[in-house]
């Protein structure tokens, strides 16, 4: 693509992440690494979705700090405000208005079938309607930028399918306007936690933070579960069932992998030593993230400026889409009469 095409012909991307307070290796490998790479090729909009986060149990007094921390983590891993638009969802109020418009076409039955809704609604005595509508707001987040592609983790596939359905239903009624965005899901799929069993997830305590320092990394990795059949140091191991080996393949210098595999298989290197190499790989990969995060923590005004400028750019696009949607739905009555 030549210089003059840049920005005009590029396809558009939107993705969102909740301000959870910690970005872990699963988020990074499952979604964020993709966000960073896509900046080269696409026009990217990245949103910290605080209006989704208010469905959780977190203390509202903590939310602003979690939002800022998430912005710092995103910038630290390489989300680059020179090459994308990074903003906070609640700064662009047009999303919630479009979500209401989409509520008029989104089928209740489909929303009730969402796995995340079925799981999470069991935690409530009285389920808030926002939990059911969560994917409708997500569809608005995406479609308000008329995004072509959405980089997300495996667990969001179903929500993306629903976004496509909403676009299709709305277009059928009000005329072709919204694209049906593709989910871009990394091949790694779902990253297992350090327990070697469940999905890596903050709520399960099986994570390692991408901002962990060397000691913290080793503190987490030393207890990671390997091949459960390998009891003694020189027992032969099965790298194909070992989660640490899977993670090695994703994070360790590829030239070291054949040796790591062979030494496991023949029992010539114990699991603790193998985990040490893994911890070193992580610390090395995380070092530049930590450095950038430290700088940004010391300069929160820089982060604020990035989010402010991002919100402004996002708002301009969002407003245009919302105006068109409102008009096609008969809501711009003054100019129509
Ligand atoms: P969450 O932390 O659940 O809000 O997820 C943020 C993003 O990271 C989403 O795109 C998820 O699909 C992705 N993600 C979270 N945990 C994992 C995991 N263990 N493996 C792969 N992707 C994940
Ligand atoms: N539901 C997503 C998650 O839990 C977060 C999200 C909200 C999102 N809006 C989005 C992801 C739009 C992609 C696009 O991870």
pTM of the model: 0.93
Tokens of residue 84, six digits: 């994308």
Total Cβ atoms within 10 A of residue 39? 17
- In the block, tokens 């030593």 appear at 273
Q: Is 102 helix (H, G, I), strand (E, B) or coil?
A: helix
Closest by alpha carbon to 111, among 90, 151, 93, 138?
138
Atom 15 in ligand 2: which residue has the minimum CA distance?
Answer: 17
> Which structure tokens are listed for 39?
């900046």
| pLDDT tens, per residue, the chain with 337 residues | 333 344 457 999 999 999 988 899 999 999 999 999 999 999 999 999 999 999 988 899 999 999 999 999 999 999 999 999 999 999 999 999 999 999 999 999 999 999 999 999 998 999 999 999 999 999 999 999 999 999 998 889 999 999 999 999 999 999 999 999 999 999 988 999 999 999 999 889 999 999 999 999 999 999 999 998 887 888 899 999 999 999 999 999 999 999 999 999 999 999 999 999 999 999 999 999 999 999 999 999 999 999 999 999 999 999 999 999 999 999 999 988 8
- 225 close to 195: Cβ distance less than 8 angstroms: yes
Question: In this structure, which residue's CA is closest to atom 17 in ligand 1?
Answer: 26
Active site residues: 120, 199, 202
- Strand, coil or helix: 25: helix
Pick the ligand that lies closest to the CA of residue 50: 2
Q: Name the residue with the closest Cα to ligand 1, atom 12.
A: 153
For domain 3-191+300-336, give the CATH number: 3.40.50.620
Query: What class is the 214-292 domain?
Result: mainly alpha
C-alpha closest to that of 68 among 271, 305, 236: 305
- In DSSP notation, 224-265 reads ----TT--STTS---GGG-HHHHHHHHHS-GGGHHHHHHHHH
Ligand 1 pocket by C-beta < 6 Å: which residues? 17-18, 20, 26-27, 30-31, 152-156, 190-191, 199-201
Domain borders along the chain are: 3-191+300-336, 214-292
Q: From ligand 2's centre to the CA of 271, what distance in Å? A: 36
């Amino acid at each position: 693509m030549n210089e003059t095409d840049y920005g005009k012909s590029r396809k558009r991307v939107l993705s969102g992440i909740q301000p959870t307070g910690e970005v872990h290796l699963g988020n990074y490998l499952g979604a964020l690494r993709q966000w960073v790479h896509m900046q080269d090729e696409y026009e990217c909009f990245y949103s910290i979705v605080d209006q989704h986060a208010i469905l959780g149990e977190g203390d509202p007094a903590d939310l602003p700090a979690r939002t800022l921390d998430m912005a710092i983590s995103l910038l630290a891993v390489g989300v680059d405000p020179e090459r994308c638009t990074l903003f906070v969802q609640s700064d662009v109020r047009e999303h919630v208005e479009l979500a209401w418009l989409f509520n008029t076409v989104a089928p209740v039955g489909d929303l009730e079938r969402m796995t995340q809704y079925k799981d999470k609604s069991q935690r409530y005595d009285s389920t808030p309607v926002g939990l059911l509508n969560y994917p409708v707001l997500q569809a608005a987040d995406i479609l308000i930028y008329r995004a072509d592609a959405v980089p997300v983790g495996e667990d969001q596939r179903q929500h993306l399918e629903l976004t496509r359905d909403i676009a299709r239903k709305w277009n059928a009624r009000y005329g072709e306007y919204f694209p049906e965005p593709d989910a871009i899901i990394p091949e790694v799929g779902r990253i297992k936690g350090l327990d070697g069993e469940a999905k890596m997830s903050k709520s399960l305590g099986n994570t390692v933070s991408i901002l962990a320092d060397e000691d913290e990394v080793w503190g987490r990795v030393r207890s990671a579960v390997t091949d459960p059949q390998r009891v003694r140091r020189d027992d032969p191991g099965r790298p194909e069932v070992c989660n640490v080996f899977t993670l090695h393949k994703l994070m360790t210098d590829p030239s070291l992998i054949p040796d790591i595999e062979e030494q496991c298989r023949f029992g010539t290197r114990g699991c603790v030593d193998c985990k040490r190499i893994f911890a070193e790989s992580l610390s090395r990969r995380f070092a530049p993230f930590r450095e950038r995060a430290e700088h940004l923590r010391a300069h929160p005004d820089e982060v604020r400026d990035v989010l402010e400028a991002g919100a402004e750019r996002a708002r301009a696009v969002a407003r245009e889409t919302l105006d068109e949607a409102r008009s096609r739905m008969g809501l711009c009555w003054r100019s129509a009469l």
